[in-house]
Copies of this chain bind each other. A is one copy, B any other.
Amino acid sequence: MSVEVLLFDVFGTVVDWRTTLIRQLEQFGRDHRFQADWIALADDWRAAYEPAMKKVRDGERPWTSLELLHRESLDGLLTRHGLSELNDEQRRRLVLFWHFLDPWPDSLQGLERLHRKYILGTLSNGGVRLLADMARYARLPWDVILSSDLFRRYKPDPAVYLGAAELLDTRRDNVMLVAAHNYDLAAARKQGFKTAFVPRPTEYGPRQSRDFKAESDWDYVAADFADLAGRLGA
C-alpha cells in the first residue's frame, strides 16, 4: 500500500446530517412559531436529493449546483408540509442548514489521527462553499476540498474521481476513498482508487434500507474512524 491521500465522502460518512438537520429545523420552528413534522421534512428533503441529482447526472438538465437543488426540493416540500408561508429569507436559511452539520462522535478524533500521516480531503457532492463552511463550523482538518462543483459532475460520475486524482497529482491507487456508501466505493474502485468502508447504520434513521455493511471486499472495512486510523497505523 502506498496510499498518500484519503478522500472522504462527507454527508453521512463524516457528518450526521439527519440528527443535525432535525435539530436545526425544530429550533427554527420554535423561533418562528411554525408547526410541522420536522423529522418527516428532513427525511423527505434528503429523499429528494438522489432524484434531483439524477436528472443532472443523466443529462436531463445542465449542471445545477447542490444549493439550487436543495432550494428547489425545499420549495416543493414546504407546500406539502403546510409551510408555504415561509418567506424567501427563511427558505435561504433552511438551505444553509446543510452547511453546518455535526460530525459523528468518532469523526474528529479519527480525522486528527489520520491527518498526521495522510493528506486529507473531501470528495463530496456538496459544493466548495458548503464544505468550507462545514469545515470551519465542525473543525474538520481538510487539506483540500474537492467537490462536485469543481468538475460540474456529481458522484458517481467517473469524472469526479479522475479529476480529483489529477488535481492531487498522484497515481489513482495512491488515493483511498472513505465512505459509508457502497455505490460510491464501487465507482471509486472502478477508477483505480483504494477503498475503505465505515458503516453508518443510523444515517437515514428508521428509513435506512441499505449500506448496513460492506457489500464488497473493500481494502478496509472499519467500525468507525478511530478503528480506521488504527488499521492504517495512524
* B-binding residues in A (CB < 8 A): 65, 67, 119, 121, 127-130, 132-133, 135-136, 143-145, 149-150, 167-170
Give Cα distance in the complex from A50 to B205, angstroms: 55
A169 near B119: Cβ-Cβ < 8 Å: no
Q: Give the nearest-CB partner of A115 in chain B.
A: B136
Q: In the complex, A119→B150 CA distance in Å?
A: 18
Kindly report which residue of chain B lies nearest to residue A129, judged by CB atoms. B169
**Given contacts A119-B136, A145-B144, A128 and B67 within 8 Å (CB-CB):** no
Tell me which of B67, B144, B168 contacts A169 (CB under 8 A).
B67
Does A168 contact B119, Cβ atoms closer than 8 Å? Answer: no
Contact status of A136 and B132, CB under 8 A, knowing A127-B167, A149-B167, A167-B150:
no
Report 25 cross-chain contacts, Cβ distance below 8 Å, ordered by A residue: A65-B169, A67-B169, A119-B132, A119-B133, A119-B136, A121-B132, A127-B167, A128-B144, A128-B167, A128-B168, A128-B169, A129-B167, A129-B168, A129-B170, A130-B169, A132-B144, A132-B168, A135-B143, A136-B143, A143-B145, A144-B145, A145-B145, A149-B167, A150-B150, A150-B167
Distance between A139 CB and nearest chain B CB, rounded to angstroms: 11
- Whether A169 lies near B136 (C-beta < 8 A) is no
A165, B150: Cα distance in complex, Å: 12
Known: A129-B167, A132-B144, A143-B145. 13 other contacts (CB 8 A): A65-B169, A119-B132, A119-B133, A121-B132, A128-B144, A128-B167, A129-B169, A129-B170, A130-B169, A132-B143, A136-B143, A145-B145, A150-B150
Q: Separation in Å of the A146 CB from the closest CB of chain B?
A: 8
Distance in angstroms from A16 CB to nearest chain B CB is 22
Closest 6 CB pairs of A and B: A129-B169, A128-B167, A132-B143, A132-B144, A129-B168, A144-B145
Closest to A128 in B: B167
Task: List chain B residues, Cβ under 8 A from A133.
Answer: 119
- Bound state CA distance, A143 and B135, in angstroms? 7
Contacts of A167 in B (CB 8 A): 127-129, 149-150
List of B residues within 8 angstroms of A128 by Cβ:
144, 167-169
Q: A67: which B residues are within 8 A, CB to CB? A: 169
| Residue from A136, A145, A149 with most neighbouring chain B CB atoms (10 Å) | A145
